[in-house]
Structure 1
Amino acid sequence: MHTILPFLLAMIAAIVLLNMWANKLKIAYPILLVVAGLLVSFIPGLPMVRINPDLIFFIFLPPLLFEASWTISFKEMKKWWRIIGSFAFLVVFFTALSVAVVTNQFIPGFTIALGFLLGGIVSPPDAVSTGAITKFVKIPRSTSAILEGESLLNDASSLIIFRFALVAVGTGQFIWQQAALSFVWMVLGGAGVGLLLAWVFVQAHKRLPLEAQSHIALTLIEPYFMYWIAEELHCSGVLAIVSGGLFMSARRLVFLNSASRIQSFSVWESFVFILNGIVFLIIGLELPEIVEGLHAEGIPLRTAIGYGALVTGVLIASRMISSYTALLATLIFRPSVMPRARSSRRRWLMPMLLGWTGMRGVVSLAAALAIPITLDNGAAFPQRNLILFITFVVILLTLLVQGLTLPAFIARTKLFDGLFEEEPEEVTRQKMKQGLKQHVYQFLKNKYENELNGHVGLEKFLKQWEERAKASDDSWMNVKTKVIFVEVLESQRQYLTELNKDPKIDEGIIRQQLYQIDLEEERLKII
């Protein structure tokens, strides 16, 4: 304990420093973390980092998926559900199948079951890596929504493939009828368990006299409960977290107060940042042990690297083929849902962007490390070290090759600037604020017309809405005025909730304004 604790603290400090360096260099911090972990692993005397395969999913995945389901725009997911669904399920299966066929043909001793196992591990692109890479360049809002929605759902589909392949490797057989029934139960049962538990948690938040700290503490343990109970019922814990997280996210204004929403945002952002950082460092730190396992099995390092490069090529090719197939299918069968591009040339560049955003990361590593060391009969799990090494090579190559070239490709060529005829974010923001001002004015006039006459505070509130936070004199604020102001803020939330139903409005902008309203409500409490 005294040895590992300083090492863990040093890891967190390194994560913070590397993130600062990555922001300065304008590259994604997962790239630096993976490389740093690899370099640090060669320092002699460091403790060996080992994680129990049975716990890797339970430790890292629940909070990461729960946070992702809270930050994603469900409205945008519904808008682009066709392409998100195809990438999250059909493309994942096609990718896993491609990996299975290629590895079975070119890697000695690799069965179809092992190929599907590896395919399930490396098929889901990593949302953290993609988000960290694309934050330095401007991409269309629709593209961002597709990537976020895909990354949330493809984790579930890929891990379902992983679980079935794991059973096939362990038992040596695969019964399609049982697999089909198990798949239906994993999907429906997982989603049902997540929604049921999410409803229970929402009721607990609403009915219990909780303070902000207690609300946040509950949100930290809720994804673990969802995952654990779903897995105990032999359905998908990942789908339980995703469905439950989306359910609770849509109702955050109902069961969390302004203080809880403000504080939970900072707590969860920091918590997930540390978890992601630790996982990416572990990717590099685990490599020396994996290489030793390869040597023990008589697999040359150069050969293993070649296998990793081969699988990486299959992943990129599969995603590119799938991207253009999806575009062609949409143009042929559903041309009405195709976004309007400013030129046909740019429309055909959209699949290239989607195809080149397939960086792998946290979920792939977690799945690879979750492979048991031995089978149920006590025999060593076949090709475990090679699968781990190939996964590491895939993560490293996709982060370095795609991750470093994607921002430069978008920024220098400017091929995706104005790709779709979307309203500029600043224009949307100005329209929303103007609508809010009109809404507040009408709300006050209709409900508090008598109080408005001769009340200096409320007149100032109406005339100087944007400047009131800078006022040095708050003596005009009294108990009655605070009550009215809180009602005004709640009315604004209702207005924004209705405004969010407009498919042309970016939900991210709505959420930013709701956060500002929460801050304003908290400011009123200390006046």
Structure 2
Amino acid sequence: MHSILPFLLAMVAAIVLLQMLATKLRVAYPILLVVAGLLVSFIPGLPVVKINPDLIFFIFLPPLLFEAAWSISFKEMKKWWRIITSFAFLVVFFSALSVALFTNYFIPGFSLALGFLLGGIVSPPDAVSTGAIMKFVKIPKSTSAILEGESLLNDASSLIIFRFALVAVGTGQFIWQEATLTFLWMVIGGIAIGLLLAWLFVQAHKKLPTDAPSDIALTLIEPYFMYWIAEQCHSSGVLAVVAGGLFMSAKRLIFLNSSSRIKGYSVWESFVFILNGIVFLIIGLELPEITAGLRADGIPLNTAIGYGVLVTGVLILARIISSYAALVTTMIFRPSVTPRSTSTKRMLMMPLLLGWTGMRGVVSLAAALAIPVVFENGLVFPHRNLILFITFVVILLTLLVQGLTLPYLINRTQLFNGLYEAPEISHQIKQQLRQHISKFLQDKYENELHDRKTIEKILHHWEEKTKAANDDWMNEKAKILFVEMLESQRQFLAELNKDPKINEEVIRQQLYQIDLEEERLKII
């Protein structure tokens, strides 16, 4: 423990420094982390980082999925649910099938079950990598919502394929009837368990005398409970966390106060950043051990690299083909929802862009490392080291090739020019809030409007967002009025968010500003 602790602390420090360097170089930080981990792994004398395969999912996936579910707009997911579900399930299955057929044909001794196992591992694109890269380019919220929604659900679909393939490899048989029933229970049971536990957690937050630290502490352990209980019931822990996270995200204004929301945002942002950084470093650190396993299995390194490059090509091609197939299907069967493009070029290039966003990362590594070394009967798992190595090559190539070229592709093709949300939307919402506040004060404090000085200062303070030189006017009575006004704004924004034309991200930004106002009020 004393030898590994300094190394872990150094890893966290390296993650922070590399993130700073990535920002300066304007590249996605996962790319630098993977390369850095690969370079560090060749330094002699460093301790070997090992994680129990049985714990790899449990340690990293629940908090990462939970935070993603809190960040995404459920309203946007519902708006684009057709394309999201097609990419999260159909495209993932098609990618896994393509990898299975290719590896079964070209890799000696690679069964179809092993091919599906590898396909389930490498089929889901990584949300962290895509999100980090998208920070350097401007894309419409609709495209961002599709990519984020896909990333939430494709983890579940790929891990279901992975689990079934793992059973097929171990038993040598696959019974479709049992698999269908198991699949239905994993999906329906996982969602139901997640929603039930989320409801219980919301009630606990509401009824217990919690404060910001205790609220944040509870949210840190809740995704682990959702995942663990669902897995104990043999359903999908991933879907449980996603469903529970979406439910709790929608109820955040009910069971969390402004202090818990603001402080929790910062805590979760740092926590998830460190988790992602550790995983991407581990990807690079694992390579020497994987290559040693290949040598032990008698597989030449050049051959394994060739397999990895070819599998990467199959995955990229399968995703691009799927994107164009989705466009053609939509144009034929649902022309009314076909994206309204200003040019044929934009319509034809958009599927290429979606197909090029398939960077792999955390989930693929976690699934690969979760493959057991031996079966329960003591037999060695076939081609485990080769699967691990191919997974590493896929992650590395998609991060480097697609990750580095995606911003250039977006800027060069100018696909999204003219498609950004109108900047005046936020201004319009602010103006509506001002009108709402004025009406609120007129209706509720009609008898006290003679005290114009206090009310005018409150309105001026809120509109200008600046701190007054003298806060003596903010007495207890004014604070009560101010808090009521802020709560009224939240309710107004919640109603406004029901309009499908309103971007939920703008609503959330305004709610965050209201939380900040309430927190500042507490220290006056």
Place the TM-score, normalised by the shorter chain, in its bin.
over 0.9
Show the 5 A alignment for 1:277-292. 277-292=277-292
The alpha carbon displacement at 1:191 in A equals 0.4
Q: Which residue of the partner structure matches residue 13 of structure 1?
A: 13
Aligned AA (1:359) = M
Residue 389 of structure 1 corresponds to which residue in structure 2? Answer: 389
Counterpart in the other structure of 1:512: 509
Show the counterpart of 2:267: 267
Match of 2:251 in 1: 251
| Alignment partners' CA distance in 2, 1:423 and 1:308 | 40
Alignment of 1:181-192 (within 5 A): 181-192=181-192
The one-letter code sitting in structure 1 at the alignment partner of 2:520 is R
Q: In the TM superposition, what are the counterparts of 1:128-167 in structure 2 within 5 Å?
A: 128-167=128-167
Distance 1:342 1:452 in 2: 52
Tell me the equivalent position of 1:442.
Answer: 439
Residue of structure 1 aligned with 2:459, choices 459, 462, 473: 462
Which of residues 479, 482, 487 is equivalent to 2:484?
Answer: 487
Structure 1 position 500, deviation (Å): 1.1
Post-superposition shift, 1:463?
A: 4.3
When normalised by structure 1's length, the TM-score is 0.98
Q: What is residue 494 of structure 2 aligned with on the other side?
A: 497
Q: Are residues 1:176 and 2:185 paired? A: no
> Partners of 2:441 and 2:140 in 1: how far apart?
38
Map of 1:76-475 to 2, 5 A cutoff? 76-418=76-418, 420=419, 422-424=420-422, 426-463=423-460, 465-467=462-464, 469-475=466-472
CA change 1:452–1:118 in 2 (3 A) is same
Q: Is the 8 A contact 1:168 1:174 kept in 2?
A: yes
Cα distance in 2 for partners of 1:20, 1:104 equals 43
Structure 1 CA distance for aligned equivalents of residues 169 and 508 of structure 2: 46
Q: Does 1:61 align with 2:88?
A: no
Q: For the Cα contact (< 8 Å) 2:70–2:246, is it kept in 1?
A: yes
Q: Distance between the aligned counterparts of 1:2 and 1:499, measured in 2? A: 55
Shift of 1:139: 1.1
CA deviations on 1:341-373 (whole Å, 9 max, x unpaired) are 112221111101100000000000000000011
1:464 CA displacement: 5.2
Unmatched runs of 5 consecutive residues or more in structure 2: none
Q: Deviations over 1:27-63 (max 9, x none)?
A: 0000000000000000000001111000000000000
What is the Cα deviation at residue 24 of structure 1?
A: 0.4
Residue type of the partner of 1:242?
V
Distance 2:520 2:461 in 1: 17
Contact 2:461/2:468 (<8 A) preserved: no
TM superposition shift of 1:201: 0.3
Structure 2 residue identity aligned to 1:224: Y
1:34 aligns with 2:34: yes
Q: CA deviation at 1:525?
A: 1.0
Tell me if structure 1 keeps the 8 A contact 2:37–2:283: yes
Q: Once the two structures are superposed, what CA deviation does each residue of 1:365-418 show, in whole Å capped at 9, x if it has no partner?
A: 000000011011111111100000000000000000000000111123323222
Moved more, 209-218 or 478-487: 478-487
Letter in 2 for 1:433: K
TM-score by length of 2: 0.99
The residue identity in structure 2 corresponding to 1:208 is: L
CA contact (8 A) 2:434 2:463 kept: no
- Give the drift of 1:199: 0.4
Q: Distance in 2 between matches of 1:482 and 1:339?
A: 48
Q: Is the 8 A contact 1:312 1:394 kept in 2?
A: yes
Give the SS at the match of 2:34.
helix
Aligned alpha-carbon RMSD (Å)? 0.9
Q: Is the 8 A contact 2:350 2:415 kept in 1?
A: no
Q: Tell me the number of residue pairs that the alignment of Structure 1 and Structure 2 aligns.
A: 524
Shift of 1:461: 2.1
- Structure 2: how far apart are the matches of 1:448 and 1:405? 58
Contact kept, 8 Å, 2:124 with 2:158, in 1: the verdict is yes
Alpha-carbon deviation of 1:518?
Answer: 0.3
Q: Give 2:459's aligned amino acid.
A: L
Q: Whole-Å Cα distance in 2 between the matches of residues 282 and 377 of structure 1?
A: 30
Question: Given that residues 56 and 370 in structure 1 are in contact (C-alpha distance below 8 angstroms), is that contact kept between their aligned partners in structure 2?
Answer: yes
Per-residue CA deviations over 1:272-296 (Å, capped at 9, x if unaligned) read: 0000000000000000000000000
Quick one: distance in 1 between partners of 2:246 and 2:505? 15
Distance 1:374 1:405 in 2: 40
Are the counterparts in 2 of residues 341 and 347 from structure 1 also a CA contact under 8 Å?
A: yes
Say whether the 8 Å CA contact 1:138–1:417 is kept in structure 2: no
> Which residue identity is paired with 1:31?
I
- Aligned in 2, Cα 1:468/1:299: closer, same or farther, shift over 3 Å? closer
Checking the alignment, whether the CA contact within 8 Å between 2:89 and 2:157 is kept in structure 1 is yes
- Counterparts of 1:370 and 1:224 in 2: how far apart (Å)? 18
Q: Any idea what SS the aligned residue of 1:465 has? A: helix
* Cα deviation 1:67-122 (Å, max 9, x = unaligned): 00000000000000000000000111111001000000000111000000000000
